[in-house]
Amino acid sequence: MKLTLKRGNNILGMTGIVGGMIIIALALYQELPFMKKELPGSGFFPILCGIAIAGCGLLILIENKYKAKKALEEGVEDSELDEDLVNKIEIRNFVYTIGISIFVVMATPFIGILLSIGISIVAMIKILGRESITKAIIIGAVTTFILFLIFSVFLGVPLPSSYIGI
Amino acid sequence: METLLHNLALGFSVLANPIVLLYAFGGVLSGVIIGALPGLGPSVGIAVLLPLTYGMDPSAGIILLAGIYYGAMYGGSITAILINTPGDSAAVMTTLDGYPLTLKGQAGKALGMAAYSSVMGGTVSVVAFMLFAPIIASYALAFGSSEYFALMVLGLTSIAGMTGDSPSKGFLAAFIGLFISLIGLDLVTGVQRYVFGNVHLFSGIDFIPVAMGLFGIAEIITDKGDMKLDIDKESLKFRNLFPNKQEWKECLPHIGRGTGLGFFVGMLPGAGATIASFLSYSMAKKISKRGDEFGTGVLEGVAAPESANNAASMGAMVPMLTLGVPGSGSTAIMMGALMMLGITPGPSLFMKEAEVAWSLVASMYIGNVFLLFLGILGLPIFVRVLKVKAPILNSVVLAFILIGAYALENSMFTVGITIFFGVIGYFMKKLKVPAAPMILAIVLGYLTESNLRQALIIADGSFIGVITKPISAVILVIALIMAFGSPIMEMIKKKVAAQ
């Protein structure tokens, strides 16, 4: 199934409406009062935001429908709304970038943040760049060392280390 | 005048510290490199390099970020001229004549003119900034909470209404940002909002991991790959970067007009450098004797938008520093950074934090000298940077983002938030939902809510009382025009045309 801008806009609009309603429902669930002693309570802004988000979602749906109808009336075949939103390169980038980032979060408690980041750089260069492993390791090591100097030495950030102290 | 010079001297005294000077240079250098890389505009640059300012002296921190900001504004023109790919949206107009000049073998001259006009536009705008900012700040001192609430609404509506193709998507982003800013403890009543027992959320969600995710990670995912650079090296030699006397004569008036226009457009919330460069190019095309040749490779077509976009970047700092209302994504991140460094932008900044404010002004003068120096002498280095393969560059940027996110609160939870907003940012980009209104709303969210609540307390709970105060009413009417003016005008035009 092709994910076009038209379909994406419909999903966005629906998500906005549902999201806005969830925000309002959660405000009520948490007993955040809209008004308290004739003044705005802690639920005032969240509920307004929920209504506004749902309203924007509805507007996006209407606008999308209007644009699609207009394109049909004018006989435009390849309108902006029919363009495919995702391509193979982006799906690959998405999977690897997010996957590698999640790896850093998961691996940090075990091998420390610097080592996890070093491995992630090597992996990203090797997989997405198809560079030689030697080049990837050199870049990974140099970058990790520079990050160590900036954050640990210069800024004094206590970076989480591994069991072996790196 | 004497006070002005005294204040400026105070600013320059901060810059006498070689470390601060080094930050200014580092900021401009990184800005030019970041700006030159397609997709990585000033917002991404500031968001990614923000962690460098943790624990820094506020003056040094803001000088570094400002350097990145105007460095990136110039940097965007390098790829616009060399490979017809603007580094950021503000450099789009530069491609129209910049790239044809490269095809004619005059890339050096186009890049040289881009550097000179950017520096001239930037320097003259700093003078205007120095004169205007304290005056606006002195007027804004009379503002109360209802006027501030109105100003925040103006900032949000203008950026939401004018960014991107669809105002409804801009507003959706702004309201989601406002909602995110509400997560955490309600500072008025102490009630937990949308925390659900998660201790990491008690202090709320900071705008920095959100900005790093929305701008940085999303950009890495949508990266199109390596650029193909095919440049005549001879044209980039030092002697070829200088326009001749006749070319100067033709370009200088456009630089002057572009600077004036850019500065004032830049001051308008939401308008920014992109609109300034577009207007300046259109004006130059209409006024120039060679108007018909625009688009075929004339230097005036580079000078006009480049002077305007750098002037606009200075102009955009006026509302941010004097009123505490940033008008663009980049200035919103800079404002958040200032608040992180313990400085609250607003009318009292020039009195309470005179050293920070005036050192920033002084740094802009020095920064423009650095920009000229780098623009001319550093060009071969920037061209080499463009040859770095995309996966290598992206892996380094991602590493910087992840460790920077961790360093913010020494917590992996913040890294998780950055990744989450990276995913959201990717989908927002694909669906053409602008990210800048969301960032601006997160930065302004708390201030907007607290000012409205304070104003309502003062007005005995009467909302009408808040919005009908003369200054608030005027600002809110402008906000409404900014938000709904262009769609209404379009509808009217269509109806008139149909009749």
pLDDT, position A138: 95
Domain coordinates in residue numbering, chain A: 5-82, 88-154
Alpha carbon B152 to its chain's center: 17
pLDDT, position A152: 86
pLDDT, position A134: 93
Chain B residue whose CA is closest to A16: B172
User: Contact B350/B78 with Cβ under 8 angstroms?
Assistant: no
B220 in helix, strand or coil? helix
Spatial distance between the Cα atoms of B161 and B479, rounded to a whole number of angstroms: 9
**pLDDT at residue A14 is higher than 70:** yes
Considering only CA atoms, which of B266, B289, B288 is closest in space to residue B277? B266
- What backbone torsions phi and psi does residue B116 show, to the nearest 5 degrees? -65, -45
Chain A residue whose CA is closest to B414: A105
Whether residues B394 and A97 touch (CB distance < 8 A) is answered with yes
A84 in helix, strand or coil? strand
Whether residues A117 and B402 touch (CB distance < 8 A) is answered with yes
For tokens 């850093």, what's the residue?
A104
pLDDT, position B269: 66
Eight-state DSSP code of residue B324: S
Does residue B97 form part of some domain?
yes
Q: Provide the chain B residues 225-254 that lie in CB contact (below 8 A) with chain A.
A: 225
* pLDDT tens column, B105-134: 888 888 889 989 988 998 899 889 888 888
**pLDDT at residue A83 is higher than 70:** yes
List the single residue in B168, B398, B456 with the smallest CB-CB distance to A39: B456
Residues of A in contact with B432 (CB under 8 A): 5
Best residue in B23, B56, B403 to probe A by mutation, most A CBs within 10 Å? B403
Count of other CB atoms within 10 angstroms of residue B236: 17
* pLDDT tens column, B323-382: 887 767 788 888 888 888 888 888 888 888 888 888 888 888 888 888 888 888 887 777
Q: What is the mean pLDDT of residues A35-62?
A: 92
- What number of helices (H) and strands (E) belong to chain A? 5, 2
Whether residues B430 and A8 touch (CB distance < 8 A) is answered with yes
Whether residues A42 and B430 touch (CB distance < 8 A) is answered with no
Range of the domain at B301: 2-141+209-429
Best residue in A3, A51, A157 to probe B by mutation, most B CBs within 10 Å? A157
Residues of B in contact with A56 (CB under 8 A): 168-169, 171-172, 175
Does residue B96 form part of some domain?
yes
A137 exposed, middle or buried (CB, 10 Å; 0-12, 13-18, 19+)?
middle
The stretches in chain B having pLDDT less than 50 are none
Residues of B in contact with A101 (CB under 8 A): 217, 398, 402, 415, 418-419, 422
Whether residues B391 and A129 touch (CB distance < 8 A) is answered with yes
User: On the CB side of A126, how many CA atoms lie within 13 Å of its CA?
Assistant: 15
pLDDT, position A164: 63
B310's enclosing H/E stretch is: helix B300-315
Region class of B480: left (phi > 0), else alpha (psi between -120 and 50), else beta: alpha
Spatial distance between the Cα atoms of A27 and A13, rounded to a whole number of angstroms: 21
Q: What single letter denotes the amino acid at residue B79?
A: T
Residues of A in contact with B169 (CB under 8 A): 12, 56, 60
CA distances from B1 to A155, B6, B7 (A): 40, 9, 10
Domain count, chain B: 1
pLDDT, position A11: 95
Buried b (16+ CB within 10 A) or exposed e, A84-108: ebeeeebeebbebbbebbeebbebb
Residues of B in contact with A32 (CB under 8 A): 191, 193
Spatial distance between the Cα atoms of B311 and B364, rounded to a whole number of angstroms: 11
Considering only CA atoms, which of B189, B209, B180, B239 is closest in space to residue B50? B209
List the single residue in A32, A105, A140 with the smallest CB-CB distance to B415: A105
Considering only CA atoms, which of B424, B483, B160, B172 is closest in space to residue A57? B172
Residues of A in contact with B189 (CB under 8 A): 41-42
Chain B residue whose CA is closest to A20: B176
Whether residues B175 and A49 touch (CB distance < 8 A) is answered with yes
Chain A contact for B194, CB < 8 A? Answer: yes
User: Contact B24/B369 with Cβ under 8 angstroms?
Assistant: no
A35's enclosing H/E stretch is: strand A35-36
User: Contact B79/B85 with Cβ under 8 angstroms?
Assistant: yes
> Residue A84 pairs with which residues in a beta bridge?
A4
Packing angle of the helix pair B436-458, A44-73 (nearest 10 deg): 140
Whether residues A157 and B410 touch (CB distance < 8 A) is answered with yes
Whether residues A53 and B172 touch (CB distance < 8 A) is answered with yes
Whether residues B461 and A38 touch (CB distance < 8 A) is answered with yes
Does residue B105 form part of some domain?
yes
- B166 is written with which tokens? 């669809």
Chain A contact for B403, CB < 8 A? Answer: yes
